[in-house]
Chain A
Amino acid sequence: MTAQAAAAMDDYNFAYLDEQTKRMIRRAILKGLAVPGYQVPFASREMPMPYGWGTGGVQVSAAVMTPDDTIKVIDQGADDTTNAVSIRKFFERTADIDVTERTSEATIIQTRHRIPEELLNEDQILVYQVPIPEPMRFIEPRETETRKMHALEEYGLMHVRLYENIAKHGAITTAYAYPVKVEDRYVMDPSPIPKFDNPKLESEAIQIFGAGREQRIYAVPPYTKVVSLDFDDYPFDPSKANHPCALCGSVTSYLDEVIVDDKGGRMFVCSDTDYCASRIRRQEQAA
């Protein structure tokens, strides 16, 4: 950091947000942790990035951050895309904290669209960027009505959505943002992670979901029961592409399909770049 940039950063509070705002966000987070899966409204702030780039996640990360933390930012599983790089830089500059690309070294992981392949532990916080927090938005557009449905536990409509999937396509085709029921109470949208990641929602880490534009925070505390909705005769199936990774050879990780030429060539590679790179490192060391 240049001296000039360092001087400019002194004008900001630690991690950009002022202390009162962080306090307000922490209150919402605590409430969210106390009522797992419940969407807590909060006074979302304007952030120096557009809506849809993770304004909710950044606010949550800033509110839980301490100077000793190490942050990792994931965008669609990757550490090196625009969104991940710019958010990592943002916290480097405004909080002067350590950053990493290694899942195991991070204490805060802000993510968009993926849960890391490596299992998380009790010392980690996973922060999700959420575009649409309301799982019933597209079946019941009225927010007044969906809040009442949450309050009264009227979740029949969620199954109508899955029923329509099966009636039309013969299987549940919802592949991402697959609805879950948290601790037998609230139905929750796990943000647009692939349904492959749903089983990992039952985790040792704290998981916090921030929706900036929609002004909602919700959370899943460690060791909380999270069940993906399904039918008795059409059980939940966390499927993935049936290939090994073309780079590291993993057959268990979630894969991206990459088009490599205009003649129909394609390859399947791990979407979690850190997981893939560490496997390759280990293979090279062994060789």
Chain B
Amino acid sequence: MSVTPLLDVQHLTKRYGTRIGCSDVSFKLYPGEVMGVVGESGSGKSTLLNCLAGHLPPDEGRILFDTRTEGPRDTLTMSEPERRMLGRTDWAFVHQNPRDGLRMRVSAGGNVGERLMAVGARHYGNIRNAAEDWLERVEIDTDRMDDRPAQFSGGMQQRLQIARNLVSGPRLVFMDEPTGGLDVSVQARLLDLLRGLVRKMGLSAIIVTHDLAVVRLLADRLMVMKSGDVVETGLTDQVLDDPQHAYTQLLVSSVLQV
């Protein structure tokens, strides 16, 4: 297969002083693929995600992203304007806490429209139509469009954050515990929605979570992390049904069966 990987991560290492955030992580993500990263708290999942999304500078390694115009480029050696441009066009970042990813004092419509205005949309009617369309897609009533996110429930806020991120048609979505803090029935709806959007738009995504059910539903491939190291990788079903590493076995067996 000679497809160029969308994201090619090589030997990524991040240290916090003498402590290790994540060490020597390498993987390739192909277009349309969803990869899950699982592990317990403090295993380096979020550090890894923040390094990939350009929020944290890693200490070593390379991150090659297949840009639309110039092919694979190292996002770490890119200039800051280029990296920030990617951050609001081709990339999307869904935070665990929607408050981190939304402007709480701006209406829902304004939140969705911000990315469009950031890349030069200057027609109010068009921006509004796009925002309306996206609110419908994430199942938010359009008559709530001019309400502030603070008046929304947790699940709605999270769906709004997803709409705000996907409106620019990104190719790569980073998600940090997208279902954390939501109750299980809301989680189920959100997962359903995410799965539909990812399949329909052919998105590539990296999902960090400690919830194995989330990756079982969404992820094609799985990476298991422990203490900053990747201890096991493979197809999701393969890793979950036949875990090889002792830690993965522990993780899988820790899930409560109802």
CA–CA, A164 and B128, complex, Å = 11
Contact A232 B122 (CB under 8 A): yes
Stretch of B61-69, B113-121, B154-162, B216-224 on the interface side: B113-121
* Cross-chain contact B118 with A156 (CB below 8 angstroms): yes
Contacts of B123 in A (CB 8 A): 231-233
Q: Is A163's CB under 8 angstroms from B84's CB? A: no
A163 engages B125 (CB within 8 Å): no
Complex CA distance for A166 and B80, rounded to whole angstroms: 33
Partner of B110, one of A152, A163, A233, A234: A163
B109 within 8 A of A: yes
Q: Does A267 make an interface contact (CB < 8 A)?
A: no
Q: Is B187's beta carbon under 8 Å from chain A?
A: no
Interface residues on A, range: 10 to 19
The B interface, classified by DSSP as helix, strand, loop or mixed, is helix
Q: Are A154 and B84 in contact (CB under 8 A)?
A: yes
Shortest CB-to-CB span from A236 to chain B, Å, is 12
Number of A-B residue pairs, CB cutoff 8 Å, is: 52
A167:B118 contact, CB within 8 angstroms: no
Report how far A139 CA is from B127 CA in the complex, Å. 19
In the assembly, what is the distance between CA of A31 and CA of B81, in Å? Answer: 24
13 of the cross-chain contacts (CB-CB < 8 Å) are: A139-B106, A152-B80, A154-B84, A156-B115, A163-B113, A163-B124, A164-B106, A167-B110, A167-B128, A168-B107, A232-B122, A232-B124, A234-B124
**Which A residues are within 8 Å of any B CB, using their own CB?**
139, 152, 154, 156-157, 159-160, 163-164, 166-168, 231-234
Closest 5 CB pairs of A and B: A156-B118, A159-B117, A231-B124, A156-B117, A232-B123
A160-B117, A168-B107 known; 7 new pairs, CB 8 Å cut-off, are A139-B106, A156-B118, A160-B103, A160-B113, A163-B124, A164-B110, A233-B123
